Structure 1
Amino acid sequence: MAATGSFFIRKKRVVEGRGRKRKAEDGEGEVHKKLTTKLNEEISSDSETESVGHNKKDAEELEIEETAQEKKLRLAKLYLEQLRREEEKAEEEQFESDLIGGRLQEEVLEQKGKLKRLLAKDYVSPDISEIRLLRGHQLPVTCLVVSPDDKYIFSASKDCSIIKWDVSCGKKLHTIHRGHKGTGDRHLGHIFSMAISSDGKYLATGDRNKLILIWNPATCQHLYTFKGHKDAVSGLSFRKGTHQLYSASHDRSVKVWNVDQNAYVETLFGHQDAITGLDSLSRERCVTAGGRDRTVRVWKIVEEAQLVFHGHESSIDCIQLINEEYMISGADDGSLALWTVNKKKPLVTVRTAHGIHGDPGIQQPNWITSVAALLNSDLVASGASSCSHDSKIKLWKCGEGFKSLELLFNIPVVGFVNSLKFSSSGDFLVAGMGQEHRLGRWWRLKEAKNGIYIIPLKKSETKQQPGDSK
């Protein structure tokens, strides 16, 4: 009897197995789903006592439904699929790690002042027909800035006005006109300097009447007025990542302001002549050009110290930081100098960088009136004034070790190049042009136009090679 009972149990299982096979013929997808479910149950319930018997039953049914060879093939496919997923996950994690690691490395190098992206070799001469001229100021443009997101340009002029421009379409979005005597919320004198904070929250402008006005760049509304300088405000710069503002003046002093608190902080002295240019980056320090005292100075605010650099033989009119370690300056004798903060003399000086003008025997070098640098890269630009119509903007590559300046190409323009700024992306260069020099009226070019040139910068199709960043 026991044997008979056993026989009927086995028979019943065989019948159930056949029934499932017929169902599989009607719907293979449903059976496959059931097999997958059972396999998952088999794997996930090893620790449960009650499910052991159930898993054994399922395993026996699976053995009836598929041969040993089919089972091996199925398990092998599952194993390979698991390996594939693990490999993809490992690749994604490695990619994210490399990306984060690269960013962190760049941030560390930038904080140390040693980030140098080798980009200059990729740039080629722009198409002259693509250069745009924006007209709006009645008198020479003296200074300008590009918003951190590269969407807007703010420019100022000897006509005491400030204009906000849309880069994409070139339209004027807002104009702050010359003020009226007694109001105090507009400029009444020539505007000589301008700066925008790295978060785009504040815009600062300085004028010949010794005033610094703070604006909201989004609405162009006046916020504060800073008083304290005793002569024209010739340079402004926000410390990167903060709302600390540095100002330089013809009164030979540098002042530090806290814009958030609408407060004056301190005054720094040292230059022996009118300061003509100023710049700063992330560190709590700034650099200045001392005009006819022919010195470049690095001001260490916390240490209450200054480093003095000599090298130009004439008045230094403009200066710009490339990164925390290197800077570029230009003088009225036509010389262009590349410096490091670790050495008191220029690493390289290019004499008569923009050529000469005048009749034979009384020729003079073209006066370098502005310089710019693409931040943390080896690309710099210079602009000059000329008595003729053949003024040029020149783009330069800082050579290996920043020990040379190699001319990349010229961009012909007409007039005084009073201000130059690269976009943050390096996709375009903006030049503020005028019929006169921004600080005076030594001579005038009637054929020049007072306006802004937006110069698109093109790159070659050659792909960036490994090692382009240091």
Structure 2
Amino acid sequence: MAGDPFLSDPARKRKRPARGAPGGKGSRGNARATRDSDISSGSEDMDSDSDSTHKHERDDGDVSSGEEFAEENAADKRRRLAKQYLHNLKQQQIQGDDFDAQDLDDELVARRLQDDVAENRGKMYKMLGATVAQQEASRRVLTARVGLKNVTGVAVHYPHVYTVSKDMELVKWTAGRHGKPRRARHCRGGPRFAAVDAKNPAANHHHGAINCVAASPDGRFVVTGGQDARLVIWALESLACLKVLPTRAPVTALAFRRGSDQLYAACADLRIRTYSVAQHAQLETLYGHQDTIVGISALAREGCVSVGSRDKTAMYWKIAEETRLTFRGGDGDGAGKPAKPGKPAAPLHCEGSIEAVAMVDETHFVTGSDNGSVSFWSLGKKKALHTQRLAHGVVPPPPPARASAEDSAALAARQVPPSQPHWITAVWAVPYSDLFVTGSHSGAVHLWRIDSASFRTFALVGSVPVKGCVVLIDGAELADPKRLVVYIATSKEHRLGRWLGPVPGRNAVVSVEFDL
């Protein structure tokens, strides 16, 4: 850097002599430089020559490294950084202590990049249906009893599972490997918590039945909503009450935005309220449904999908754009019409309400209805892409002696009411995958696989026997080892009422594990 004009000392500079000046220092210097240039390089010392050569190589390398990327544009720079990123990922995999060719094949760099892009775009990219379908006989099913009162909800933040019930109890469970969940901590509300203690938030709780629960993705909060028109924010580890947020109506469903602290709360006053849980503040209120909102689901985008029970609609809310899309159900309204020649008449099972919803990816979702129909929807069409009617079968008819008071067996047999379908009471989908699960009071939960080629149909790939009424389903994908754990909350009655009557079963949490 001795020749750098910004770093050299001006006082040590020598002025260039005038051209043609006789007998000056400059002429002697030029003569000396000429004589030095005539000296053979072979007369120099080899060590000093090699040192000088290495020095010049280092100087040239510094200059070339700076000049190499001096003229590249933005596209070339992005390409260079992407190649460097791929090289670093390969080095991390190869330099691992437990190197295995199969592990390297399972986590190809290209696949990881494709998965990141697919999730950012909100598209389905995890194909788990075929893997789960092969484990029909080897699945592991474990049951843990919850308590005396009926369970109303379950939320998972692995390795912890949270359940709520109608006796105002919040229970924290610890999930074990190949073992049933163990009760770790619990707290119970009661009438004494009717008044909110603003000075001591930890002294608050619910004073009415708890309808729903949700765990934040960042592992900091658990939120419960109850029949007492309260949202209670709890510390996820200690179950200490942090804040009580009042609502004007009972809270029926909760959902967190994926990767955020934004909470969507569905209320019985036909409104959806959005909250920032970390700031303990309400953000917006969404209007549109004409009946009680009983289900809500959300993924990574700023939006959610909800179902309005007897208004027979599903609404997708674009919160950032302040717009919504309305999808109308009413499946079965055309049933009972004269059948076409050669085809039997379809039974009349009209849809009375849409009971459950789950988002598959950012553009598709699944709903379940009280007439036993499971429908697959796309944001690009107003009608369902595919509907599976009587997905969980029908309720067996009662015996004639119980259905009629007639002494004649023939008359009593004619008075037996027709069989009614099993309600679809719960739906859960593995985010961004082709697998979703439906629950009812039929004695089993069903596993469905979406056709990854057309994204228009789905088919049954398996069933898991479960006793009782399935009130909610949640799950988690685990990486080490790769497996899927599904938690099913079962009860002896519906979580919001007693329309189904007593259902044979127990109040429990059923865990089902699949290897991926």
Name the TM-score class by shorter chain. Answer: 0.7 to 0.9
Question: Is the 2:153–2:489 Cα contact (8 Å) retained in structure 1?
Answer: yes
Shift of 1:91: 10
2:440 to 354, 372, 384: 384
Which amino acid in the other structure matches residue 167 of structure 2?
A: D
1:116 to 106, 125, 130: 125
Question: Is the 1:224–1:262 Cα contact (8 Å) retained in structure 2?
Answer: yes
What pairs up with 1:142-221 in 2 under 5 angstroms? 142-147=152-157, 150-168=158-176, 169=179, 170-179=181-190, 180-182=192-194, 184=196, 185-221=204-240
Percent identity, please.
31
What pairs up with 1:18-417 in 2 under 5 angstroms? 50-52=45-47, 95=90, 99=108, 101-123=110-132, 124-127=134-137, 130-147=140-157, 150-168=158-176, 169=179, 170-179=181-190, 180-182=192-194, 184=196, 185-228=204-247, 230-313=248-331, 314=351, 315-359=353-397, 361-386=417-442, 391-399=443-451, 400-417=453-470
Distance in 1 between residues matched to 2:355 and 2:389, nearest whole Å? 15
Q: Give the secondary-structure state (helix, strand or coil) at the position aligned to 1:408.
A: strand
Shift of 1:90: 13
Distance in 2 between residues matched to 1:258 and 1:53, nearest whole Å? 70
User: Paired residue for 1:466?
Assistant: none
Question: Is the 1:200–1:217 Cα contact (8 Å) retained in structure 2?
Answer: yes
Q: Give the secondary-structure state (helix, strand or coil) at the position aligned to 2:361.
A: coil
Distance in 2 between residues matched to 1:395 and 1:304, nearest whole Å? 35
Question: Is the 2:139–2:514 Cα contact (8 Å) retained in structure 1?
Answer: no
Which amino acid in the other structure matches residue 114 of structure 1?
A: K
Compared CA separation, residues 101 and 158, structure 1 to 2 (3 A): same
Question: Is the 1:415–1:445 Cα contact (8 Å) retained in structure 2?
Answer: no
Compared CA separation, residues 192 and 112, structure 1 to 2 (3 A): same
Distance in 2 between residues matched to 1:129 and 1:401, nearest whole Å? 29
Which amino acid in the other structure matches residue 279 of structure 1?
A: S
Which amino acid in the other structure matches residue 449 of structure 2?
A: K
- More moved, 134-143 vs 203-212: 134-143
Question: Is the 1:416–1:437 Cα contact (8 Å) retained in structure 2?
Answer: yes
Indicate whether 1:423 and 2:461 are aligned: no
Give deviations 1:343-378, integer Å, cap 9, x for gaps.
111111000000001326510000000011111110
- More moved, 100-109 vs 213-222: 100-109
Distance in 2 between residues matched to 1:90 and 1:253, nearest whole Å? 46
Which amino acid in the other structure matches residue 181 of structure 1?
A: F
Q: Give the secondary-structure state (helix, strand or coil) at the position aligned to 1:110.
A: helix
Q: TM-score, normalised by structure 1?
A: 0.74
- More moved, 155-164 vs 419-428: 419-428
Instruction: With a CA cutoff of 8 Å and minimum separation of 6, indicate the structure with the bigger relative contact order.
Output: 1
User: Paired residue for 2:39?
Assistant: none
Which amino acid in the other structure matches residue 393 of structure 1?
A: V
Unaligned runs of 5+ residues in structure 1 are 1-48, 56-88, 460-470
Distance in 1 between residues matched to 2:296 and 2:221, nearest whole Å? 18
Which amino acid in the other structure matches residue 432 of structure 2?
A: N
Q: Give the secondary-structure state (helix, strand or coil) at the position aligned to 1:353.
A: coil
Question: Is the 2:152–2:210 Cα contact (8 Å) retained in structure 1?
Answer: yes
Unaligned runs of 5+ residues in structure 2 are 1-43, 51-83, 93-106, 197-203, 332-350, 398-415
Give deviations 1:330-353, integer Å, cap 9, x for gaps.
011100011111211111100000
User: Paired residue for 1:436?
Assistant: 493
Q: Give the secondary-structure state (helix, strand or coil) at the position aligned to 1:268.
A: strand
Distance in 1 between residues matched to 2:129 and 2:278, nearest whole Å? 37
Compared CA separation, residues 96 and 317, structure 1 to 2 (3 A): farther
Compared CA separation, residues 201 and 50, structure 1 to 2 (3 A): farther
Distance in 2 between residues matched to 1:261 and 1:249, nearest whole Å? 21
Distance in 2 between residues matched to 1:118 and 1:423, nearest whole Å? 16
Give deviations 1:194-250, integer Å, cap 9, x for gaps.
11111111111101111111111111111111112x322111111122211111111
Which amino acid in the other structure matches residue 178 of structure 1?
A: G
Q: TM-score, normalised by structure 2?
A: 0.68
Distance in 1 between residues matched to 2:509 and 2:85, nearest whole Å? 51
Q: Give the secondary-structure state (helix, strand or coil) at the position aligned to 1:137.
A: coil
Compared CA separation, residues 54 and 257, structure 1 to 2 (3 A): closer
Question: Is the 1:126–1:456 Cα contact (8 Å) retained in structure 2?
Answer: no
Distance in 2 between residues matched to 1:353 and 1:154, nearest whole Å? 28
Give deviations 1:140-162, integer Å, cap 9, x for gaps.
21111110xx2111111111111
Shift of 1:422: 2.2
RMSD between aligned residues: 2.6
Distance in 2 between residues matched to 1:245 and 1:127, nearest whole Å? 38
Shift of 1:458: 4.2
User: Paired residue for 1:21?
Assistant: none
Question: Is the 2:194–2:207 Cα contact (8 Å) retained in structure 1?
Answer: no
Distance in 1 between residues matched to 2:515 and 2:230, nearest whole Å? 39
Question: Is the 1:137–1:161 Cα contact (8 Å) retained in structure 2?
Answer: no
Distance in 2 between residues matched to 1:91 and 1:187, nearest whole Å? 52
Distance in 1 between residues matched to 2:85 and 2:277, nearest whole Å? 48
Distance in 2 between residues matched to 1:177 and 1:439, nearest whole Å? 19
Distance in 2 between residues matched to 1:143 and 1:343, nearest whole Å? 31
Compared CA separation, residues 394 and 172, structure 1 to 2 (3 A): same
